[in-house]
Structure 1
Amino acid sequence: MYQDILNSTAHRDCPLPQDPWIMMQQWDHLLFIHRPIQPHVLEEYLPQGLVLDTFNSKAWISIIPFKVSKIRLRKMPLFPFIGSFLQINVRTYVKRNGIKGVYFFSVDENQLLMILGSKVATLPSYYADMSMKRRNGYICVDSERRGKTAGILRARYEPTGEFFHPEKGSLEYWLIERYFLWTYRNGSLYRGVIHHKQWTVKKAAVNMEQSLTTLWPNNFLNSGFLAHYALSQIALIWLIRREMI
């Protein structure tokens, strides 16, 4: 299975790292919610060393809830005592030295052990009470952060139409096919690499309420965005490394 994933690289813009991957995760019921935003609004939030990436002169911000399961380290059995957990990340689209990727504003999770792992990996993580349930044909995600930093997401979504592979050059491909991520902590920039097969997605109908980010105005909560649904994906993850700014 892993070699089949590693051999599937035609959809990537950059080659795989030469060093081996260290972790596998399965992602299920992913919802990609994307909204265009003026570049100058986002640029002030980026750390030194990253350049905002745009599509037709527009920047984008995305909110992505999904389920994580079947976690294992390379050549090791599945992690005990974890099972599955939920995650929501808020991200924008960036470049560094010609490489395209994403920059995380926040990562919410409902598994304390994974929160600790995410913090070690420099991700801006928050612990949240979260659920993902099916109701009357919809998938419903409810999340509320615990602690001093407030943040909620209430989303109800329904996949529509047929599954498709986003075409190279399209906005959907530009938004979804991203294999590098950057984080920033204590004055240092860190880069991670992931790999998986090309996304297969459907469009999605979404109704949501959120306070995870102020960059998504309340008057645009249920209009002016794109949404896509993916059933499942197996992802290989490389060690996050510090980069010189």
Structure 2
Amino acid sequence: MNHTQPTTYHRLAARDRPAGLPVMKQRWSRLLFLHWRVDPDLLRPLLPAGLHLDLHEGEAWLGVVPFLMERVRPVLMPAVPGLSWFLELNVRIYCHDDSGQPGVWFLSLDCNQPVAVELARNLFLLPYEHARMRYGGDLNATRYHCLRDGELDEAVYEYGPAGEIREAHPGTLEFFLLERYILFSRGRNDRLYSGKVHHPPYRWGPAKCDQWSTLPVKWDGLPEPHGPPESMLWVDHVDVHIFPLRRLPPTL
């Protein structure tokens, strides 16, 4: 079936706030975006029918993103100590639907808050995994640990900012990797859904990363990328509105 390739218009339009009311508010902070170029033929089979691999200048990218989740709560509700602050680490690839909407397909999302794991699995149909996680240090040198339940070895990251902070420009690799406002997920009977997040454009800079791990990729059943990350980006924080899932039209 033919499908529309994402254009600059599609990528900029994804930033627009959707109609209706958000269901959640949260802050993402101390974000580390690590990316490797990967053979597109390795990633295409991971996408369900109706989604297509999104490429930057003909190349596919795999991301590992550890960060802090803060002030997570339903709209109109206060944040709750013990529930609203936790850690998350996701493994992600980039895709688009038949209409050209660009977004993210998550291979996994490790999290150390059991209630958040179960809610995200059921409400957003995302592949969350229970994990033991912790972090320390300050904004200039965060040390971050993740051990998924059932695994033996721990993924460790030591990172911080390393340069000028700016916004990404359309057409750049940084824009392609960072400016993602749509997630795709799969429900019963292989039905596809999209969910929108809305936040100001990321203010990013290069990251220094003294220690990094590809273990989460291995945990997801993929070969670990060789060599250091080819892109390492840092974002201090961003405040986010989360909107409900919407079912995508069936693929013909």
TM-score range for the pair, normalised by the shorter chain length = 0.7 to 0.9
Which residue does 1:13 correspond to in 2? 13
* 2: CA distance, partners of 1:237 / 1:163: 25
Picking from 162, 165, 182, the partner of 1:180 is 182
Matched position secondary structure for 1:24: strand
1:191 maps onto 2:194 in alignment: yes
Which deviates more, 44-53 or 160-169?
Answer: 160-169
1:208 maps onto 2:209 in alignment: no
Structure with a larger share of its residues in strand: 1
Matched position secondary structure for 1:126: strand
* Structure 1 residue 241 displacement after superposition: 2.6
Picking from 227, 234, 237, the partner of 1:232 is 237
Picking from 109, 119, 144, the partner of 1:107 is 109
Counterpart contact for 2:71–2:84, Cα < 8 Å: yes
* Structure 1 residue 158 displacement after superposition: 2.7
Q: How many residues align?
A: 232
Which residue does 1:160 correspond to in 2? 162
* Structure 1 residue 137 displacement after superposition: 5.0
Which residue does 2:8 correspond to in 1? none
Code of the aligned partner of 1:226: S
Code of the aligned partner of 1:46: L
Matched position secondary structure for 1:178: coil
* 2: CA distance, partners of 1:79 / 1:55: 40
Which residue does 1:4 correspond to in 2? none
Code of the aligned partner of 1:157: Y
* 1: CA distance, partners of 2:137 / 2:60: 32
CA 1:20–1:151 in structure 2 vs 1: closer, same or farther (change >3 Å)?
farther
Q: How does 1:122-141 map to 2 (within 5 A)?
A: 122-134=125-137, 138-141=141-144
* 2: CA distance, partners of 1:110 / 1:86: 6
1:219 maps onto 2:226 in alignment: yes
* Structure 1 residue 140 displacement after superposition: 1.1
Matched position secondary structure for 2:213: strand
Code of the aligned partner of 2:226: N
TM-score for the superposition, normalised by structure 2 = 0.85
* 1: CA distance, partners of 2:125 / 2:26: 18
* Structure 1 residue 104 displacement after superposition: 0.5
Q: List alignment gaps of at least 5 residues for structure 1.
A: 1-10
C-alpha RMSD over aligned residues: 2.0
- Structure 1 residues 194-234: Cα deviation after superposition (integer angstroms, max 9, x where no partner): 010010011012221232113452532xx252011111100
TM-score for the superposition, normalised by structure 1 = 0.88
* 2: CA distance, partners of 1:39 / 1:144: 28
CA 1:154–1:239 in structure 2 vs 1: closer, same or farther (change >3 Å)?
same
Which deviates more, 161-170 or 70-79?
Answer: 70-79
- Structure 1 residues 69-89: Cα deviation after superposition (integer angstroms, max 9, x where no partner): 112222222245414100011
Code of the aligned partner of 2:132: D
Counterpart contact for 2:36–2:225, Cα < 8 Å: no
Which residue does 1:88 correspond to in 2? 89
CA 1:236–1:151 in structure 2 vs 1: closer, same or farther (change >3 Å)?
farther
CA 1:136–1:17 in structure 2 vs 1: closer, same or farther (change >3 Å)?
closer
* 2: CA distance, partners of 1:170 / 1:231: 20
* 1: CA distance, partners of 2:35 / 2:225: 14
CA 1:94–1:151 in structure 2 vs 1: closer, same or farther (change >3 Å)?
farther
